[in-house]
Amino acid sequence: MESNAGTLETRSNRTASEREEVAALESLQFTDEIHRLMSAPATDNASSFTALLELPAPQAVQLIHSPDSAKLIAAPAPNVEDVKGGFHFPSNGGLIERAARFSVFAGEGNNKSDSPEATSNNSSANLQKAVKSEPAETESSQPLISDPTVENRGIKRKDREKVKGQTKKSKTTAKESSDDAEKLPYVHVRARRGQATDSHSLAERARREKINARMKLLQELVPGCNKISGTALVLDEIINHVQSLQRQVEFLSMRLAAVNPRIDFNFDSVFTAEGVPPQYLKELLIKLYDKRKSSGSLMDSNFSGMVMPMMWPEVQLNSNRQQYPQQLHFDAFQQPVWGREEVCNNYLTPENSLLSYDSSANSGNFLDTLNEST
Amino acid sequence: MPNLEPSPVFKRRKTEGDPVSVHRIQSNQTMKRWTTKREHQIYSSKLFQALCRSRRTSSSTSAKELHQTADRVLAITAKGTTRWSRAILAAPLTAGTNMKKHKRAKVTVHTRLRKPVVNREKRKLPVVERKLKALRRLVPGCRKLSCNNLLEETSDYIVALEMQVRAMTAITEFLSRGEAQAPTDRLGSIGNM
């Protein structure tokens, strides 16, 4: 026991800092702590809860009455994790009991001073929730025995924790784990009750959760997949859906190919607008043609940006397609017509469209007419 | 007006640089960008223009060529954020029948001869794996992707395909309707030229 106390004293500073680490329970790293706890002397034979704390007795007594509940609540945590590691089962059951009872004392002690309790409440609400869930997570039934004792005390904080621990534990852990997975750069997943805690299974669980999240997304996308349960069937549905979509695209391309012979002239008629006076358009076309001659390449996005707004708003007036016959007097200006087409051809390459967002923005306006047909 | 496009694109680029929430942003992008009307318009216009160009350069009306053009325009509209779009753009000249089916058949024959019982069991067990294989074959550019990323690419691909179908139906309808209304006058214009 004395040797225990001596080693405990030497380790007290370390455990204090450890406790602070553990206090930030959002970033648990189980392997490190388990190793640390393994190196700690076995607290099997310790009968006093001061050994439970791995602290010398006077400090422990001080902690009981201190308003800082963070340390107190975090204290049982290392031991609980020790249990989770599954190293010393029977004795740690007793430890858990004592931890529960001790935390009861802590609660009482804190109830004496209200304001620190409030602050400590706020600061360590998460801690308490988490820590209380941890004792409940052990496989032995002893925490359950200790729970009624806690509840019988009627301490409101502990009751809240207990309720949370028992009923909503999985939800909170799931939520925490998912939050952790989303917020933090590397995955911190809380181990749930009855699940292994080594890093491999944790990583696997995180991976599985990611995959399940994506499967859910896919299920929403594919119609009729919500009712199906089971990965294989859902994947079947997804494959069928992708195949059907690809087939549809193929059929549509065949249809378009059949419609296509007219496309040159449709291009003409589409671009001309009814309400535009012919002279204005003629000037526009001539300007385009000259610009094209003067500037060597038409990869200039500014150019397209300038041209398109002039052309497209006119087309927007043309909502009725029956105006096509009336446009055809523009064809009298053969040169400008072809020139315009050439111009359009040159600057409306896909690569340019990719680079110049202007053309796409302006084409969007033009396509209002297209989309009225949808 | 020219500034309509850049801002959403730049916003997307900034958020994509954040390594933490990539998955969330990806899912938002998947949902939002292919379903917006704007994206639909952009794709339709680009497709239309590409069609005109291809019609002018080569007078053939093959459905396959059209299909390829449409796919490429779709990949361009994706703006290079997804693997399948990059794969489509990177290999546009494949005939489409370069499957290695014969290779696969060979392997299965050998294994069947060697260990009938064990391989039958083993082939049946990873059911999900086989479906993932099939999915990999369907989505372009995802042949060696992990399950995780494959599902992500698939979701984006599905939404993009749906938009492609919508846009192509719109264009087809538009063109065929335009045709139906004024066929004779068009011929008149040909005469003038």
CB neighbours of A146 closer than 8 A, spacing ≥ 6? A96, A97, A100, A101, A135
- Position B145 scores a pLDDT of 87
Do B68 and B92 form a contact (C-beta atoms < 8 A)?
Answer: yes
Mean pLDDT of chain B: 71
In tens, the pLDDT along A161-170 reads 444 444 444 4
- Position A201 scores a pLDDT of 92
Asked if the Cβ–Cβ distance from A357 to B182 is below 8 Å, we say: no
Q: Chain B: give the shortest CA distance to residue A69, in Å.
A: 33
Q: What mean pLDDT comes out for the span A253-271?
A: 65
- Alpha-carbon distances of A242 from A159, A236, B28, B35, rounded to whole Å: 52, 10, 20, 17
Q: How confident is the model at residue A258 (pLDDT cuts 50, 70, 90)?
A: confident
More confident residue, A321 or B121: B121
- Alpha-carbon distances of B122 from A52, B129, B136, rounded to whole Å: 51, 11, 20
Cα A242 from Cα A245, distance rounded (Å): 5
Tokens (6 digits) for A250: 């193929």
Cα A243 from Cα A6, distance rounded (Å): 71
Residue B110 predicted with pLDDT over 60:
no
More confident residue, B157 or A188: B157
* DSSP code, position A321: G
Contact B25/A at CB under 8 A = no
Do A370 and B49 form a contact (C-beta atoms < 8 A)?
Answer: no
Q: What mean pLDDT comes out for the span A69-74?
A: 44
ipTM of the complex: 0.71
Angle at A309 between CA A303 and CA A313, to 5 degrees: 160
Asked if the Cβ–Cβ distance from A332 to B179 is below 8 Å, we say: no
Do A353 and B76 form a contact (C-beta atoms < 8 A)?
Answer: yes
> pLDDT over 90 for what percent of chain A?
8
More confident residue, A196 or B72: B72
Q: How confident is the model at residue B44 (pLDDT cuts 50, 70, 90)?
A: confident
How many CB pairs lie under 8 A apart between chains A and B? 237
CB neighbours of A292 closer than 8 A, spacing ≥ 6? A298, A339, A342, A343, A346
Q: What mean pLDDT comes out for the span B52-74?
A: 81
Cα B15 from Cα B25, distance rounded (Å): 7
Residue B72 predicted with pLDDT over 50:
yes
Do A113 and A120 form a contact (C-beta atoms < 8 A)?
Answer: no
Q: How confident is the model at residue B104 (pLDDT cuts 50, 70, 90)?
A: low
Q: How confident is the model at residue A241 (pLDDT cuts 50, 70, 90)?
A: very high
Closest chain A residue to B127, measured at CA: A232
Angle at A13 between CA A8 and CA A17, to 5 degrees: 125
Q: Chain A: give the shortest CA distance to residue B137, in Å.
A: 10
CB neighbours of A144 closer than 8 A, spacing ≥ 6? A136
Contact B148/A at CB under 8 A = yes
- Position B35 scores a pLDDT of 77
- Position A308 scores a pLDDT of 41
> If you compute the radius of gyration of chain B from its CA atoms, what whole number of angstroms results?
22
Residues A204/A205/A207/A208 CA torsion (nearest 10 deg): 110
DSSP H helical ranges for chain A: 2-23, 30-39, 49-53, 57-65, 69-74, 76-85, 89-112, 114-137, 142-153, 156-167, 169-183, 199-221, 231-259, 263-271, 278-294, 301-317, 324-327, 334-347, 350-355, 357-371
Q: How confident is the model at residue A202 (pLDDT cuts 50, 70, 90)?
A: very high
Cα B157 from Cα A260, distance rounded (Å): 27
Cα A222 from Cα A220, distance rounded (Å): 6
Q: What mean pLDDT comes out for the span A234-247?
A: 93
Q: What mean pLDDT comes out for the span A203-222?
A: 90
Contact A203/B at CB under 8 A = no
Confirm whether pTM is higher than 0.80: no
Asked if the Cβ–Cβ distance from A362 to B176 is below 8 Å, we say: no
Q: What mean pLDDT comes out for the span A34-55?
A: 50
Mean pLDDT of chain A: 54
CA nearest to B111, candidates B122, B101, B100, B102: B122
- Position A186 scores a pLDDT of 67
Residues A46/A47/A50/A54 CA torsion (nearest 10 deg): 20
Closest chain B residue to A367, measured at CA: B41
Most trustworthy range by pLDDT among A27-41, A127-141, B13-27: A27-41
Tell me, rounded to whole angstroms, the distance of Cα A86 from its chain centroid.
Answer: 32
CB neighbours of B161 closer than 8 A, spacing ≥ 6? A242, A245, A246, A249
Residue B129 predicted with pLDDT over 50:
yes
Residues of B in contact with A215 (CB under 8 A): 151
In tens, the pLDDT along A129-143 reads 444 444 444 444 444
Residues B14/B16/B21/B22 CA torsion (nearest 10 deg): 180
In tens, the pLDDT along A299-341 reads 444 444 444 444 444 444 444 444 444 444 444 444 444 444 4
More confident residue, B63 or B102: B63
Give B48's Cβ-side CA count (13 Å radius).
31
Residue A19 predicted with pLDDT over 60:
no
Residue A267 predicted with pLDDT over 60:
no
Asked if the Cβ–Cβ distance from B168 to A252 is below 8 Å, we say: yes
DSSP H helical ranges for A226-322: 231-259, 263-271, 278-294, 301-317
In tens, the pLDDT along A349-370 reads 444 444 444 444 444 444 455 5
- Position A163 scores a pLDDT of 44
Cα A53 from Cα A75, distance rounded (Å): 6
Do A15 and A54 form a contact (C-beta atoms < 8 A)?
Answer: yes
CA nearest to A301, candidates A366, A357, A344, A361: A357
CB-CB: which of A264, A324, A349 is closest to B185?
A324
